[in-house]
Amino acid sequence: MQIMKKGRRFTVIIEQDEDGIYVAEIPQLPGCHTQAQDIPTLMERIREAAELCVSEYDDEIAPMEFVGLQQIDITV
């Protein structure tokens, strides 16, 4: 008998720091973040990080619907 794994979908936020390094995080999974010098490597790493976070905290993950991103300008 095969055990079927359930699929999960998460939103990944990607930013690029001042040194050109890509940083990814999954807001739904606290502490789930990684970095890389290119997007393909970044996506591979964030998938691995997500799998670890889900295996550790599966019962604690609350559903979250991605709505969008906005940028604001402020004056300081």
Sketch the domain layout of the chain as residue ranges: 24-59
d(CA 39, CA 68): 20
30-72 confidence digits (pLDDT tens): 899 999 999 999 999 999 999 999 988 777 787 888 888 888 9
Joined together, the tokens standing for residue 75 give: 């004056």
Does the pLDDT at position 4 exceed 60? no
d(CA 3, CA 21): 38
Check if the beta carbon of residue 34 is closer than 8 Å to that of residue 46: yes
What is the predicted pLDDT for the residue at 1? 59
Show the DSSP H helices in 1-76 as ranges.
39-57
Question: What's the CA angle centered on 51, arms 45 and 13, to 5 degrees?
Answer: 55
Joined together, the tokens standing for residue 73 give: 């300008």
